[in-house]
Amino acid sequence: MHGLPANLEDALLGLVREKLFEGGAPLTVETDLFAAGLDSMGIMQLMISIEERFGVRVPESAVTRDNFSTASSLAAMVRRCAAPA
């Protein structure tokens, strides 16, 4: 597996805050990101940031509402993408 941070959920939450949401937004790893306003542009920015930051490739089949709905579900997706085939 790639060198993913031990607390991937928090790292992803930090990325979501930094790239997409206004500073200080009350987000947790279980916040519904779509309800908080995530749109097509935000998802694409997030996907590419994940690829650049964590060195994983997110395949088309992994880009689903379930995988992008929370920082927690994102972390599970990133771990699957990073796992050797």
Partner 1 sequence: MTPSPSRAKLRAPLGGCDCYLLALEDLMERSGQGRHVGVTVLEVGRGFEVERLREAAARFSESQPILGAKLQRGLPGAVPVWRGDQTAEVAVEIHPAGADWRGLAEERLQGQWPGRLRFDVWPASEGFVVLMSWSHLLLDARGVELVLAEVARLGEEVPAKPEVNSHALPFARHRSWWQEFRAVRPFLERYWSLRSERVVSLGGAPARAGRACFEAVRFSREETAAMKRRADPVTGGIFALPWFLAVTMRAHAAVFRARGQENGSLECTISVQGRKRGARGPIFQNQVSQLFFARPLPDPASVEDTARALHGQFAAMTRDKFDGAFLVMIDWMRRLPAPLYRRFLRREASGQLASFYHAHTGEFLPGVREFCGGSIVDGWHVPSVPQPPGTGLFFSEREGRLTASLCWRDGVLSADERALMWSAIRADLLGAQ
Q: Under the rule (CB under 8 A), what is the footprint of partner 1?
A: 20-22, 25, 34, 36-45, 47-48, 60, 63-65, 68
Nearer to partner 1, 4 or 51 (CB): 51
Nearer to partner 1, 42 or 75 (CB): 42
**What is residue 30's DSSP assignment?**
T
Q: How far is the CB of 39 from partner 1 (least distance, A)?
A: 6
Pick from 74, 4, 64, 10: nearest CA to 18: 10
Residue given tokens 């992008």 in the structure block: 68
Nearer to partner 1, 24 or 84 (CB): 24
Q: How far is the CB of 2 from partner 1 (least distance, A)?
A: 19
Burial 52-80 (b: 16+ CB within 10 A, else e): ebbebebeeebeeeebbbbbbbbbebbee
Q: How far is the CB of 24 from partner 1 (least distance, A)?
A: 9
